[in-house]
A and B are shown apart, each in its own frame.
Chain A
Amino acid sequence: MASNFSGALQLTDLNDFITPSQECVKPVKIDRKPGKVAKIRIEDDGSYMEVAESGEEKKLQKAQITLNDCLACSGCITSAESVLITQQSQEELYNVLQENLRLQQASEVDKKKLVVVSISPQSRASLATKYQLSPQEAHHKLTGFFKKLGVHHVFDTSFSRNFSLLESCREFVRRYYESETNKTALPMLASSCPGWICYAEKTHGSYILPYISSTKSPQQIMGSLVKDYFAAKQGQTPDLIYHVTVMPCYDKKLEASRQDFYSDLYRTRDVDCVITTGEVEKMLEKENVTLGQVEGNTAYCVLSGFGSPDGGLGSHLGGGSGGYLEHVMRYAVSQIHGSSVDSLQYKTLRNQDFQEVTVEIEGKRPLKMALAYGFRNIQNIVQKIKRGKMTYDFVEIMACPSGCANGGGQIRPMEGQTNNELLQRVKESYDSVPCVQPDLWPGVKDIYEEWLGGVDTEKARAMLHTQYHGVEKVASALNIQW
């Protein structure tokens, strides 16, 4: 089946000669306790008993294999992605909405789920371009469309992106000062692209992970906002909220299903379902409407992305992939040197997806940062780090050439339109929204105080940061290299 994931992810999942009969590598999970030697005996019923040196027997737990295990394991047959795609799709959203309707009719309202949809600005730009609307119109109409289907709230990840940007900036400056004693503090590598993260975890593991920023992506910060802050405000427990995000790529589905973003306490994910822009297009087709025909809904909520002083939508500097380099550089210059930069000069290196910015700092070495989009550029960055030849302090890494606006889940070009032409229009639409500084965005400062108790608190770290796990290559009989 044709894979829709980013190039980086597709290339790391190949084993063409492995037959469908390969056994899963995790039939029994054995807790590795150092120093203890035990025998394993297989009982007649197929269960496994651990027999310790003392003769003590313990029945071993059968490992639960989640979808995530399959996707993270580097030795199995793949095609778990087809399961993933059915588990996270617009069909699932329809199912939840149907269930709500049924519960309503059966008067079991307290079992109903509060359905929230958070739309990414890249998806919005793609839809706005297709249906020839302004981003503002697209936003209102998408709100109207989802609400008509039974969704309760429609938010915008532009809002949660502010937190992601602010945290990244602060993290960078902290690491900059730490770099004098800590060798792995710099370069800092952006963390919002799950294609990049999964590739780094699977292929490069522990030597690259310390460099990756611990800041969560806008999608996952929105997940925390919805399932913690918003849930509390609504007086709803997180498991009774169904959070859907609309994203420009399929890799975001993998991100949402990470164990780190699952609450054991409430047995719920921060983001329950990711649907792509293309899947929203399918929904519109199923409902037999074009976005232009939908009646707009102008309901306001601080989480809905209205950041402009005039009450309209807000955006940010730095392009369609979040603007990490732009913000980190400006903030770093202001903190380290006390000055501000008017505009950053980008220098294109070997190709358009590899650009660098250098800012001279009086009395110190210049700050050098880079954008590296696409697999070939990621390769070069990783190899430079591996060989100790890295000259950048920060790299905004994205798996897709041309960034998120060109994600694998965006709406495809029409007949006669080239991908480049469409991409240009989508970028124009994205850039047409006025920029607002993250710390000046209405609601951001208040939520830091109200929800997290301030900046850099323990709760802030728990809600806005995450961690990474290298994937070991498990040696199984079928993995042996001949």
Chain B
Amino acid sequence: DKIIRIWGKEGDKWVCKSILAEGHQRTIRSVGWSPCGNYLASASFDATTNIWSRKEGEFECIASLEGHENEVKAVSWAPTGLLLATCSRDKSVWIWEVTEDEEYECASVISSHTQDVKYAVWHPTREMLASCSYDNTIKLFKEEIDDWTCCNTLESHTSTVWKISFDQTGHRIVSCSDDKTLKIWQEYLPGNPEGIDTIGKESAWKCVCTLSGYHNRVIYDVDWSHSNGLIVSACGDECIRVFREEEISDKNQPSFSLVCTQNRAHSQDVNSVAWNPKEPGLLASGSDDGDVKLWEVVLD
């Protein structure tokens, strides 16, 4: 509906605190809070990404990032808050820098993917970007000398990779795909004890676990909790599932087990799930049915 809603907890209830309308001309596909929490970025099918600033509780659109040729699919803030990444159906990933006078300038246009780029996210601690695409790959990007380049391509999924999520350490990634699997990827640094080949100073990434048979339809979203390590997935079969790594798990061949499934979490496709960064076990889900639901995961 081209509107952004900001929700806050008042006592026991969640209320809609602000409505940001007239910012975009088409669907808003992705929103992201800046690390400091004072800014919100919104990425839209109208090919622009807006930056909203919170002043005295009111949000004001302070910048509009233009340049993508068509629908912007995602926006992500780097942990420093000084870089942003956007990705689009135009197959490119753009990196933006926030200047001293709060201007947003294009720092790089990376055309590595061969199809629609669905999502881009920054590494939790390093200045490294990960993106995934309709071309079935995940790509990692770093700044080298003068420009950003693709340093790794992770191939294993057999269909569109919709979302990726780093674990708390940043050495592992979980990805979800149209091929109905979740995959866990492990980083191997140069000189690793396992003897995995690396090129120069670059790490190698290997798919060390595939969770298949759990999901009945395309998996649209996945999030790896940075507080308790649980992985939650959002699926086109209307279910939300939570996975946990087993106590005895080999780093090079980890085992994950399904902790619980919420059947009929929504009445339509579950498009989006995210863990609350502060409250472990609290997660939010969004769906084609127009609802946002909050869930509590209680482990025995």
* B177 interfacial by beta-carbon distance below 8 Å: no
* Interface contact A14-B105, CB-CB below 8 Å: no
* B111 interfacial by beta-carbon distance below 8 Å: yes
* A476 interfacial by beta-carbon distance below 8 Å: no
* Interface contact B91-A380, CB-CB below 8 Å: no
* A352 interfacial by beta-carbon distance below 8 Å: yes
Contact for B111 among A10, A351, A379, CB less than 8 A? A10
* Interface contact A11-B111, CB-CB below 8 Å: yes
* Interface contact A16-B106, CB-CB below 8 Å: no
Given the known inter-chain contacts A7-B111, A350-B97, A352-B146, please indicate yes or no for A14 contacting B106, CB distance below 8 A.
Answer: no
Residue of B nearest to A203 (CB): B69
* Interface contact A351-B146, CB-CB below 8 Å: yes
* Interface contact B45-A481, CB-CB below 8 Å: yes
Q: How far is the CA of A11 from the CA of B106 in the complex (A)?
A: 15
* A376 interfacial by beta-carbon distance below 8 Å: yes
Q: How far is the CA of A377 from the CA of B26 in the complex (A)?
A: 27
* Interface contact A375-B109, CB-CB below 8 Å: yes
Instruction: Point out the residues of chain A lying under 8 angstroms from B105, CB to CB.
Output: 350, 380, 383
Instruction: Point out the residues of chain A lying under 8 angstroms from B26, CB to CB.
Output: 481
Residue of A nearest to B116 (CB): A16
* A12 interfacial by beta-carbon distance below 8 Å: yes
Interface 0/1 of B107-119, CB less than 8 Å to A: 1110100011000
Residue of A nearest to B45 (CB): A481
* Interface contact B69-A376, CB-CB below 8 Å: no
A-B contact count (CB 8 A): 45
**Residues of B37-93 contacting chain A, CB below 8 A:** 45, 66-67, 69-70, 89-92
* Interface contact A376-B111, CB-CB below 8 Å: no
Instruction: Point out the residues of chain B lying under 8 angstroms from A350, CB to CB.
Output: 97, 105, 107
* Interface contact A12-B107, CB-CB below 8 Å: no
Q: How far is the CA of A233 from the CA of B253 in the complex (A)?
A: 79
Instruction: Point out the residues of chain B lying under 8 angstroms from A11, CB to CB.
Output: 69, 90, 92, 109, 111
Instruction: Point out the residues of chain A lying under 8 angstroms from B147, CB to CB.
Output: 351, 401
Q: How far is the CA of A383 from the CA of B103 in the complex (A)?
A: 11
* Interface contact B89-A16, CB-CB below 8 Å: yes
What is the interface size of chain B, counting residues whose CB is below 8 A from a CB of the partner?
Answer: 22
**Residues of A460-482 contacting chain B, CB below 8 A:** 481
* Interface contact B66-A383, CB-CB below 8 Å: yes
Q: How far is the CA of A7 from the CA of B108 in the complex (A)?
A: 12
Given the known inter-chain contacts A16-B115, A350-B97, A481-B45, please indicate yes or no for A380 contacting B69, CB distance below 8 A.
Answer: no
* Interface contact A380-B109, CB-CB below 8 Å: no
Interface 0/1 of A44-64, CB less than 8 Å to B: 000000000000000000000
Residue of B nearest to A379 (CB): B106
Min C-beta distance of A385 to chain B, whole Å: 12
**Residues of B116-142 contacting chain A, CB below 8 A:** 116
Q: How far is the CA of A352 from the CA of B145 in the complex (A)?
A: 10
Q: How far is the CA of A150 from the CA of B115 in the complex (A)?
A: 46
Instruction: Point out the residues of chain B lying under 8 angstroms from A377, CB to CB.
Output: 106
Q: How far is the CA of A481 from the CA of B116 in the complex (A)?
A: 15
Q: How far is the CA of A469 from the CA of B84 in the complex (A)?
A: 34
Q: Which of A10, A375, A401 has the most CB of B within 10 A?
A: A375
Q: Which of B67, B92, B111 has the most CB of A within 10 A?
A: B67
Residue of B nearest to A402 (CB): B146
Residue of A nearest to B147 (CB): A351
Residue of B nearest to A420 (CB): B145
**Residues of A1-50 contacting chain B, CB below 8 A:** 7, 10-12, 14, 16
Residue of B nearest to A14 (CB): B90
Instruction: Point out the residues of chain A lying under 8 angstroms from B45, CB to CB.
Output: 481
* Interface contact B106-A376, CB-CB below 8 Å: yes
Min C-beta distance of A353 to chain B, whole Å: 8
Q: How far is the CA of A296 from the CA of B32 in the complex (A)?
A: 64
* Interface contact A376-B92, CB-CB below 8 Å: no
Q: How far is the CA of A481 from the CA of B69 in the complex (A)?
A: 12
Min C-beta distance of A53 to chain B, whole Å: 37
Instruction: Point out the residues of chain A lying under 8 angstroms from B67, CB to CB.
Output: 379, 383
Min C-beta distance of B78 to chain A, whole Å: 16
Residue of B nearest to A13 (CB): B69
Instruction: Point out the residues of chain B lying under 8 angstroms from A351, CB to CB.
Output: 146-147
Instruction: Point out the residues of chain B lying under 8 angstroms from A353, CB to CB.
Output: 146
**Residues of B9-40 contacting chain A, CB below 8 A:** 26
Residue of A nearest to B47 (CB): A481
Residue of A nearest to B115 (CB): A16
Q: How far is the CA of A112 from the CA of B51 in the complex (A)?
A: 64
Interface 0/1 of B165-203, CB less than 8 Å to A: 000000000000000000000000000000000000000
Min C-beta distance of A1 to chain B, whole Å: 13
* Interface contact A14-B146, CB-CB below 8 Å: no
Min C-beta distance of A31 to chain B, whole Å: 31
* Interface contact A376-B108, CB-CB below 8 Å: yes
Given the known inter-chain contacts A11-B69, A350-B97, A351-B146, please indicate yes or no for A379 contacting B109, CB distance below 8 A.
Answer: yes
Instruction: Point out the residues of chain A lying under 8 angstroms from B70, CB to CB.
Output: 14
Q: How far is the CA of A377 from the CA of B89 in the complex (A)?
A: 21
Residue of A nearest to B70 (CB): A14
Instruction: Point out the residues of chain A lying under 8 angstroms from B91, CB to CB.
Output: 14, 16
Q: Which of B97, B103, B115 has the most CB of A within 10 A?
A: B103
Residue of A nearest to B97 (CB): A350
Instruction: Point out the residues of chain A lying under 8 angstroms from B66, CB to CB.
Output: 383, 386
Instruction: Point out the residues of chain A lying under 8 angstroms from B108, CB to CB.
Output: 376
19 contacts between A and B (CB under 8 A): A7-B109, A7-B111, A10-B111, A11-B69, A11-B111, A14-B70, A14-B91, A16-B89, A16-B115, A350-B97, A352-B146, A376-B107, A376-B109, A379-B106, A379-B109, A383-B106, A386-B66, A481-B26, A481-B45
Other A-B pairs beyond A16-B116, A376-B108, 8, CB < 8 Å: A7-B109, A11-B92, A350-B97, A350-B105, A353-B146, A376-B107, A383-B67, A386-B66
Residues on B lying within 8 angstroms of A by beta carbon are 26, 45, 66-67, 69-70, 89-92, 97, 103, 105-109, 111, 115-116, 146-147
- Nearest 6 A/B pairs, CB to CB: A379-B106, A351-B146, A376-B106, A376-B109, A380-B105, A379-B67
